[in-house]
Structure 1
Amino acid sequence: MSGKLLKNDKYFIPPEDTSENFKELFARLTAEGAGRPLDKDGYPDGPWTPETLATAIAGIQANTGGIDVRTVQVWFQDNDNGIANDNIRWLARIFGCDDPVAAAKWQKQLIASRDRLSAERRAKRRTTAFQDAPRSSETGDQIAPVNPIRQRHPSILAVGTSTMLTGANNIYVIILVWASWSILGMSAIVFGLADVTYMTEGKVEKQVGIFSSPAWTLEKLVLIPTYLIVTSKGVIAWCNHRCAFENQTGTETWETRVSAFSPAFYLVLAVSVFVIFGLQWYGTYLQPLLDGPNTDIEPNWIRVATNPIELMPPGLIIGISLYAGLYIGAVYWLCFSSLLLLYIAAHDLTRTGNEAKAAERTLYEVERHEVARVLITALYRSIICGALINTIIKVDALYFVSDAENFLAWIKHDIFAAFGFDSRGWNWLSDGQLASFTTIIFLLTITSVAYFGIYRIKLSIEAAEKRQLVSHAALITAPTFMIVSFGTLGMFRGFSLVFLASLVVGIWQLLSPSLRFSTRTERIS
């Protein structure tokens, strides 16, 4: 047993750099019983079978979702199917005998072997396509493309956006969001906008600096990056899953599917540039700044050249407001684009299921059930995160038209007033409460698109499996509460209690979504 060791009372085979693809490596390890318990003589207790390996993976404490035995059977079969990232993680723990260092090394080897399998499949598909293609020299005629759809030129905007948000370097997008905000933060400090105050008509010194605005701190630095992580994780999971199906059946590539939605990507870009940036910047910042002290709009950290604040000349602050407006437009473009990609993944999942050949469909449906859960969870979390973002934006806007001295004091006064501990409470500085058009559109867009994607997947999976994938109540209860809470913000004394409850529910759902998915049967009947 040269090179073989015992680890945690299990048969351990150290990982080695080989040229084996996943199927070859997996077949060798399961035949030799890598990770199997030892018998009384110190030998592995036989080779792995689909049933014993599925039981071992399901017994891993961190694997709360279990695993379908048919998924494991696919690995044992001589086919071109690959393996999902989560399942590589569980296999690495099995072959690593529950040793963290050994598991990490095996995970690296398994991923490399899967990549080799994917490369072999692509090469095989190209060779088959070349051999099957009719030759013009044999017929004497010019041959038209067999599948014009696959000849579609990829959309630079659509494919580029997909690569940026879901590619290997997608973390740089979040770093860019933070870095761009830091320019605003440094500008606010340099020009004295970080801690701006002014005296209201009621003789209250009101804080309107950038660091006292949750819409410019909590939302931009925490919630927006969280939203991008949630959406990109779902799309990446689907792209990793569809590679095996794509290479095996010759279906359209992910880039081709994304390119088919090219008009939607251009629409998102146009809305972000002309509406979210252009119209909102002009109406909210540029026009009041040009009006100067004569404007009736309550000031914030950007509108510091308006009445009653004349901290700096309009020309300088207009430049800062232009950058801030571009930043808002770019951030929302990222949010809408990532949501669109997540919907395309949901749309793609249902289409590829229909395109699978009859002989392949049983195997494909097993893996599709698992990735469907990941996509639905990502879409659900995007709704929750979108509700949190828009709740923060609306509360922030309401604060600027209240007579409270700072944001935390405003929340405190409102809570005390609800329980009768503060008779003064708070009042509005202007006649009407500020309703943000952007927040309403943002919330409605995220909710409607995400639910459309959720129910597209849900209905497709349930039609194939003849069982409910996840209950309607689990999908709508928490989002409905948060959306109703959003609508009641500022409508009555004590709304802060609803606001805080909405935050708690939202954070809880982001960390641990209350979605209980049905599990597939453990054995094929």
Structure 2
Amino acid sequence: MCYNFLLTHDKIRKGTKRYEKKTRSALIKNGKYFVAPQQSSDTFKVLFARLAAEGAGRPVDRQGFPDGPWTPETIAEAISAIDGYDGDIDLRTVQIWFQDNDNGISTNNIRWLARIFGCNDPDATSLWQVELSAANRRLAEKRKRKKVGNRPRLGSTETVQKIEAGYTRARASAVTAQEINWRFNLAKKTEALFDSQSSMALPLVVFTGACTLALISFTLNVHSVVFTPENGPPRQVGFLWAPNWTITFLAVLPLFLVLLMDLLRCWKEEWRTRLADFNDPEFLGVSWEHRLTAASYAFWATFFVTVIVASGYNWTATHLTPLLESDPGNWAVDWSRIAILRPDLISVPSAIAFTSLVFLYNGFTAYLFFTGHIILHLMKDDYVSLMKGLEAQSSEEFIPEIENISFLLMNGIFRCTALGVLITILMKLQSSFLQSNSTNIIDWLVADFGSPFGNHDSIAKESTLSRIAPGSFYSFFCLLAIVGTFANASIKIRWMFARLHLAEWHNRLIAPWVVMNGTMALLVISYFLIGVLPGFTIFLAFSLALTGYLLTKPASMWSRDSRKERST
């Protein structure tokens, strides 16, 4: 009898161990602690806090227990290690999930979180994605109920219209993307150039092209040419003496591309993601890809104007035809037309080949320059769209970060457009010099600098009106487009802050904002004074010095100054 009792007890003990082992193995998937969805009525914050405390999705030890609870650092590191992760989640975003507030989680981030809680198992991930989405909706409903109690209730008709409009816009976005997907998308191809992983790749290509043209000008003997007109003093018209061909492509344009590429990367990878996380999860905004696709016509129009008209047609009318006819006409003589009057330096066929190469390079660099301004407009429109979604948010927790993102975006736009205005100034300097009677552009600038101090040989009065320099007209239209980009961004960003009733922002950032607007105004005034007012170089030098200081000053120092104002 005692033997039978011991045998029965041993069977029960072994059965219990087998049950515990089977139960423990059911809680382990892919070597991680798995917690099955309970289909509870908890909101996202409650559900996430419970799962983080239990260590759902954490690696297990030999006994099958999870390796402690989740922390913001460990869960951010785990998400970044997932195959196919696109880098949309940072530590700040994960910290918001742990905070006790009414902020939810975006649909894209739910996907990554479900992979963690589902232990990277397809079926379990799908179940957790459904569970997390439902919990996030319950949190959104809870937040809406709070807002209804504190704010006037919107009419049901208006609410339905907004929801229907949002879904219609989302469906239209999907349809448009599918329709255009099969076609060659110039906008996406161009944006891919600016979105390169290396911020120096495209600028180095532009710089190398400029160096190549400079070397070719040496071999063709047009790098430095002193030309003596019939009625006038000798004049330096060499290729390397033209700042619009040398300084622009060797320094200013590469720097413009570096700043633009860095700004675009920050916007897509950091700032846009943060503003999207601050929004209501149910806010139906326009994706960056759809916004870029919708602007495809602008990229094609820019290609036509810069490559076909401004470069192709301009080269044909102002260089090819005069060279073939051996008559410069009313065009100012420079390195590109010197073959007509000095065939001993360069032959007409060589001049045609070299000018065609220069204008081909100029056409594609001009395309990059102006499509860069289209990218600036798209970032500004994307910012305005995301900020409109924040109008219904009552939390003031993220206002400082929103202010910081807004200023950094505007500061980046200012830097790019300031360099753009500098390019137009270089173009007009060369055009004005060709209409003067000075020997070279350096003597021309030095003489003007000394004119207010007793040098009465004012270059502003030495204009030979019989010669036409097309760069003056071209630079003027470029100036309008560049200043329009800056002014539009400045007005729209300030307008959005007014709509969000962020009155304190005006006091914190008014100084840097005034400096940016004032510097842009000084650059524009300097442009119009070139060759018109004696002593314009003094005003120009001051404007360029101030611009150079703002370009080299880190934007973070402005933010630091604003924090000091806030603390005082």
What is the TM-score of this pair, normalised by structure 1?
0.69
Matches within 5 A, 1:29-108: 74=96, 76-77=98-99
1:70-115 CA-to-partner distances (Å, cap 9, x unmatched) read: 9997375387879xxxxxxxxxxxxxxxxxxxxxxxxxxxxxxxxx
Residues 1:272 and 1:294: Cα distance change in structure 2 (over 3 Å): closer
* 2:268 partner letter: C
Aligned residue number for residue 189 of structure 2: 160
SS at structure 2 position matched to 1:152: helix
Shift of 1:158: 1.3
* Structure 1 residue 120 corresponds to structure 2 residue 155: no
Separation (CA, whole Å) in 2 of partners of 1:352 and 1:479 = 27
1:184 aligns with 213
Asked whether the 8 Å contact 2:339–2:347 carries over to 1, the reply is yes
Change in CA separation of 1:421 and 1:452 when aligned onto 2, cut-off 3 Å = closer
Q: Which residue of 2 aligns with 1:443?
A: 479
Question: What is the CA-CA distance between 1:223 and the residue it aligns to?
Answer: 0.9
Contact 1:418–1:494 (8 Å) recurs in 2: yes
SS of structure 1 residue aligned to 2:376: helix
**1:364 to partner: Cα distance:** 6.0
Q: CA deviation at 1:440?
A: 0.7
Q: CA deviation digits over 1:413-454, x for unaligned, max 9?
A: 222333224658683344366362221111110111221122
Q: Give the whole-Å Cα distance in 2 for the aligned partners of 1:400 and 1:207.
A: 9
What is the DSSP-based 3-state SS (H/G/I as helix, E as strand, rest coil) of the residue aligned with 2:332?
coil
Q: Is the 8 A contact 1:382 1:446 kept in 2?
A: no
1:149 aligns with 2:173: yes
Correspondence for 1:215 among 240, 244, 247: 244
| Distance in 1, Cα, partners of 2:497 & 2:365 | 33
On the 8 A contact 1:157/1:262 being kept in 2, the answer is yes
Higher mean C-alpha deviation, range 331-340 or range 470-479: 470-479
CA offset at residue 119 of structure 1? 7.8
Indicate the residue corresponding to 1:4 in structure 2: none
**2:536 is the alignment partner of 1:490:** no
Greater relative contact order: 1 or 2 (C-alpha under 8 angstroms, separation 6 or more)?
1
- Any idea what the Cα deviations from partners look like across 1:441-487, whole Å, max 9, x if unmatched? 11110111221122212211232143144446434222112111111
Distance in 2 separating the partners of 1:508 and 1:179: 27
SS at match of 1:299: coil
Given the alignment of the two structures, is residue 457 of structure 1 paired with residue 493 of structure 2, yes or no? yes
Structure whose CA Rg is larger: 2
Which is helix-richer, 1 or 2?
Answer: 2
Alignment partner of 1:336 is 2:366: no
SS in 2 for 1:305: helix
Counterpart residue type for residue 96 of structure 2? V
Q: CA deviation at 1:202?
A: 4.7
- Whole-Å Cα distance in 2 between the matches of residues 501 and 209 of structure 1? 28
Give the letter for the 2:518 counterpart. T
| 1:150 maps to amino acid | A
For 1:203 and 1:397, the matched residues in 2 are separated by 17
The residue type paired with residue 524 of structure 2 is I
The equivalent of 2:547 in structure 1 is 506
- Which amino acid in 1 is paired with 2:526? S
Shift of 1:199: 1.5
Q: In the alignment, which residue of structure 2 is the partner of 1:324?
A: 358
Report the Cα distance in structure 2 between the residues aligned to 1:406 and 1:268, rounded to whole angstroms.
34
Structure 1 unaligned residues grouped into runs of 5+: 1-17, 31-69, 83-115, 134-143
Are the counterparts in 1 of residues 285 and 385 from structure 2 also a CA contact under 8 Å?
no
2: CA distance, partners of 1:167 / 1:122: 30
* DSSP 3-state at the match of 1:492: coil
The 4+ residue runs of structure 1 with deviation greater than 6 A are 70-73, 78-82, 116-119, 128-133, 513-517, 520-523
Q: Deviations over 1:266-321 (max 9, x none)?
A: 22112112222123222332222223145342221222222356532222211111
- Whether the 8 Å CA contact 2:384–2:492 is kept in 1: the answer is yes
Q: Which residue of 2 aligns with 1:242?
A: 272
Residue in structure 1 matched with residue 462 of structure 2 by the alignment = 427
Deviations 1:112-167 (A, max 9, x none): xxxx979826969x95999699xxxxxxxxxx998342243256211221121133
The one-letter code matched in structure 1 to 2:519 is: A
Answer with 260-269 or 302-311: which moved more: 302-311
Matched residue, 1:53: none
Residue 257 (structure 1) aligned to one of 285, 291, 302: 291
**Does the CA-based 8 Å contact 1:246-1:252 persist in structure 2?**
no
Inter-CA distance 294–151: structure 2 relative to 1 (3 Å threshold): closer
8 Å CA contact 2:75, 2:94 repeated in 1: no
Structure 1 residue aligned with 2:163 = none
Contact in 1 for aligned 2:306/2:363 (Cα 8 Å): yes
**For the residues of structure 2 that align with 1:483 and 1:199, how far apart are their CA atoms?**
33
Match of 2:320 in 1: 286
1:511–1:130 CA distance, 2 compared to 1 (3 A): same
Root-mean-square deviation (CA), in Å?
4.0
How far did residue 336 of structure 1 move? 1.0
